[in-house]
Amino acid sequence: MMSWVDLLVYSVERVWLTLKADWYYLVLSIGISAWARLNLDKEKVADFCRRNRTSSVLASVGVAVSTPLCSCGTTAVILGMMTSSMSWAPIVAFMVSSPLTSPGELLYSASLFGWPFALAFFISSIVLGLAGGALAYFAESRGWLKGQSRLAPPASVAPEPNGATPRARPGWRDLAREAGRGARSLLPRFTVFVFVSYLLNGLIPRSWLSSLFGQGRVYGVPLAATLGLPLYLNTESSMPLLAGLMRSGMSPGATMAFLITGAGTSVGAIAGAFTIARWRVVALVVGTLWIGGILVGYGCNALPALLRSLGL
């Protein structure tokens, strides 16, 4: 057991080494997110989902995982989708997938967990969105989601006049300014929580984490998925902490389950959901994320053994 001074010095050194090794991931993540925030028109995103009715669930999930929308942005897009009497399936698919990931967050998670874990999380976000859409389609076909919207029935929308002023395209200065705002938000959180994760590595005995969330603990995945519901903070804070816990003995499956349920059921995501829908739709979203997180977690833990048995 290291002394407090040695532990603090070790944690600071590890933060520096982490930033030195992964700075380009962070820069790319900040740049992609800044570009998308400046160029993303939420009304056009919603209109794209409305126009692709024949493949609406696929379109919704594709848009959800490729756009860095915050809780407010997700709510704005869903409100736009609901202006044309769209069914619940694409809306629920969007509500499930959108809070989980984006291209910037894919790079951010790769810097902390490595590409195999980051890609597994990204693909899981797509699969769970499709599953949520399928469940919503089934529930709506049985009449279980009737009257679940909190909005008034959509009225016909008048077309925009031909002389409408086009949206000004942002320039390099705008991009630099937005990237600066993103860096001021992400880098301090990343640094602080990487430091905290290494500090916890030295304070929490590995045997404790292994006994609760380690590989082979059947209850570890559902326990992590359940704890993700109330304890998840945000992507910038939770991912570095979980990366540290994973190094200390938390299984990849338990980590994945916590991330899936936590990201999709954060305070902002649930508050936004309740402004749009009533409890049955919200319960469907939360249930899809919780059960899906558990199944994905078990799959992540079982995959290495399966690959070894196949000689891969």
pLDDT digits (tens, 9 = 90+) for 86-100: 788 888 998 899 888
Q: Which residue type, as a one-letter code, is found at position 230?
A: P
What pLDDT score was predicted for residue 159?
47
Residues 253 and 212 sit within 8 Å (Cβ to Cβ): no
Confidence of residue 135 (pLDDT cuts 50, 70, 90): very high
Mean pLDDT, rounded, for 209-232: 83
What is the average pLDDT across 59-88? 73
What integer pLDDT is reported at residue 64 of this predicted model? 85
Q: How far apart (Å, rounded) are the C-alpha atoms in residues 312 and 307?
A: 5
Cα 234 → chain centroid: 9
Q: Residue 221's pLDDT is what?
A: 93
With cut-offs at 50, 70 and 90, classify the pLDDT of residue 244. confident
Task: State pLDDT tens for residues 62-73.
Answer: 888 888 776 556
Residue 6 Cα distances to 3, 14, 60, 183, 244, angstroms: 5, 12, 50, 30, 18
Check residue 160 and give its pLDDT: 47
pLDDT: is 124 or 232 the higher one?
Answer: 124
Q: pLDDT at position 290, please?
A: 95
Number of independent structural domains in the chain? 1
Q: What is the pLDDT of residues 145-201, one digit of tens each?
A: 888 887 655 444 444 444 445 556 777 788 788 888 878 877 887 787 677 767 766
The Cα–Cα gap between 150 and 17 comes to 49
Q: Give Cβ neighbours of residue 267 (< 8 Å, ≥ 6 apart).
A: none
Per-residue pLDDT, averaged over 280-290, amounts to 94
Query: What is the pLDDT at residue 31?
Result: 77
Of 283 and 17, the one with more pLDDT: 283
pTM above 0.85, yes or no: no
Return the pLDDT at 157. Answer: 44
Q: What is the mean pLDDT of the chain?
A: 79
Q: Percent of the chain having pLDDT more than 70?
A: 77
Is 268 contained in some domain?
yes
pLDDT exceeds 60 at position 34: yes
88 belongs to a structural domain: yes
Q: How would you write the chain as a 3-class SS string?
A: CCCHHHHHHHHHHHHHHHHHHHHHHHHHHHHHHHHHHHHCCHHHHHHHHHHCCCCHHHHHHHHHHHCCCCHHHHHHHHHHHHHHCCCHHHHHHHHHHCCCCCHHHHHHHHHHHCHHHHHHHHHHHHHHHHHHHHHHHHHHHCCCCCCCECCCCCCCCCCCCCCCCCCCCCCHHHHHHHHHHHHHHHHHHHHHHHHHHHHHHHHCCHHHHHHHHCCCCCCHHHHHHHHHHHHCCCHHHHHHHHHHHHHCCCCHHHHHHHHHHHHHCCHHHHHHHHHHECHHHHHHHHHHHHHHHHHHHHHHHHHHHHHHHCCC
| pLDDT reading at 9 higher than 90 | no
249 or 45, which is more confident?
Answer: 249
What domain range is 218 assigned to? 4-143+176-309
Q: Token pair of 90, please? A: 């694409």
d(CA 67, CA 32): 10
Residue 167 domain-assigned (yes or no): no
Domain assignment present for 105: yes
Residue with tokens 């829908």, as numbered in its chain: 277
Q: Is residue 46 part of a domain?
A: yes
Q: Per the structure block, which two tokens stand in for 52?
A: 């692709």
For the chain, give the number of residues: 312
Asked if 273 and 281 count as a contact pair (C-beta separation under 8 A), the reply is: yes
Amino acid at 34: A
Write down the pLDDT at residue 83.
59
The dihedral region occupied by 114, where left means phi > 0, alpha psi between -120 and 50, and beta the remainder, is left
> Does some domain include residue 156?
no
Instruction: List, in sequence order, every residue forming a beta bridge with 149; answer none if it has no partner.
Output: 277
Percent of the chain with pLDDT over 90: 24
Per-residue confidence at 134, pLDDT binned at 50, 70, 90?
Answer: very high
